[in-house]
Copies of this chain bind each other. A is one copy, B any other.
C-alpha cells in the first residue's frame, strides 16, 4: 500500500544538485470528494498529457471516510483500489497541515464534495497556501458578509478561488461573464434556463402524462438530484443566479431571490392547466432564471415558440448575456450544463488556467 502519513520522503530531494529550497514546477492537487464528479475528475487527470508529463500531480485524495497521500504524486491508475485499502481516516486538519508542507509547490485544493465542513475549512487551506477550485456552489452562496471575508482571505494570501463549473458545468458561462466585465462591457441582464433537470422536464412535457410521472422517469434515468425537490423547488437555480449576480458585483443573498417553487402538492394539475393555456397561444413553458436591474428571479414562464429558450433540447442549459456591446441580439451559450463528465472537464479547465498563470 502506497498510503503513508510519514514526513516528506527524503529521497525525493536526494537527487537535487542544489540543497537550497526552490519552487517546483507544476501544480500539486489535493482532491476532496470521490463521488461522481470527483471520480470522473481523477479519471480525466489520470490520462491528461499534463499529468503524464508530471505538471499536474494528485498528492492527496480524500473522501468522507479515508484518504491517501504521496508527496510527489500518486499513481492514479489504481486510485480506487488504493483508497479502498487505506486505513487512514480523513481529517481536514491533517490535510491542511499537508498543504502547508507543500509550500515549495503551487497547491490547489479541489473540492468535489457538497460538504459545508470543507467550505468552512477554505480559509485555513488558503492561509496554508492553497488555491481552491470547485464545482460546489456552497461557498458562493454563503451570507454576503461571510462570503466577503472569504474573498478577502484569498486576496490577502494572493491565492485564487476558481469556481467556473458551478454554473453550466463545462459550458463557458462564468468565463464569458468574466471576459465581458474585464474588457469593459456593461452587463445589463443575464437570463436563461439554468437547470438541466427542469429543462429536460419542460422540453418533454406535452400534457399526455402527469408531470410527476415525468419527474419519476427523469429520477430513474439519473437526470435529477438524488432528491428531485432540490431541482423542483428552484433552489439550485437560485444558487446559480446568486453566483452570477455576485460576480457582477451585486451583494445579494439567497433570500433576496424571488423563486417559484414547483415542489408543491398540486403540481400535476397546476402544470397541466398552465400548459393547456399557453399551448392555445402557440407558446411553451420554460423555467427561466433572470438577473436584471439588480433583481434576481426564477419562475415558470410562457415563451413564444420563436424565443431562443423555446428551442432548447434534451437537458440543455441556455444563458443569454444582454450587454452594452451585445445589445441588438445577446451573446448566448447553450448546451448540456450538468453531468460528471462535462463538469469534471470544467474543473480540469480551471486547473489548466492555474497552471498557466
User: Which A residues are closer than 8 A to B by beta carbons?
Assistant: 44, 47-48, 170-172, 175-176, 179, 182-185, 306, 308, 311, 313-316, 325-326, 328-336, 341-342, 345-346, 348-349, 352, 356-357
Q: With contacts A349-B183, A357-B357 known, is A328 near B314, CB below 8 A?
A: yes
Are B334 and A183 interface neighbours, CB within 8 A?
A: no
Extra A-B contacts (7), CB below 8 Å, given A172-B333, A308-B334, A326-B342? A171-B331, A179-B349, A184-B348, A311-B311, A316-B329, A325-B342, A332-B334
Task: Name the distance in Å between A60's Cβ and chain B's nearest Cβ.
Answer: 22
Task: Name the distance in Å between A49's Cβ and chain B's nearest Cβ.
Answer: 8
Provide the residues of chain B in CB contact with A183, threshold 8 Å: 44, 48, 170, 345-346, 348-349, 352
A44 to B332, CA, bound (A): 23
Number of copies: 2
Residues of A contacting B: mostly: mixed
A170 to B179, CA, bound (A): 9
21 contacts between A and B (CB under 8 A): A44-B183, A170-B183, A170-B331, A172-B172, A172-B176, A172-B179, A172-B333, A183-B345, A183-B348, A183-B349, A183-B352, A306-B311, A313-B329, A314-B328, A316-B329, A325-B345, A326-B342, A331-B334, A332-B333, A332-B334, A356-B356
Provide the residues of chain B in CB contact with A333, threshold 8 Å: 172, 331-334
Provide the residues of chain B in CB contact with A328, threshold 8 Å: 314-315, 336
Q: With contacts A172-B175, A311-B311 known, is A336 near B329, CB below 8 A?
A: yes
Q: With contacts A48-B184, A176-B172, A182-B352 known, is A335 near B345, CB below 8 A?
A: no
Task: Name the distance in Å between A120's Cβ and chain B's nearest Cβ.
Answer: 30
Provide the residues of chain B in CB contact with A325, threshold 8 Å: 170, 341-342, 345
Are B335 and A326 interface neighbours, CB within 8 A?
A: yes
Task: Name the distance in Å between A331's Cβ and chain B's nearest Cβ.
Answer: 4
Provide the residues of chain B in CB contact with A331, threshold 8 Å: 170-171, 333-336
Task: Name the distance in Å between A223's Cβ and chain B's nearest Cβ.
Answer: 11
A328 to B335, CA, bound (A): 9
A349 to B178, CA, bound (A): 10
Provide the residues of chain B in CB contact with A176, threshold 8 Å: 172
A331 to B176, CA, bound (A): 14
Provide the residues of chain B in CB contact with A356, threshold 8 Å: 356-357
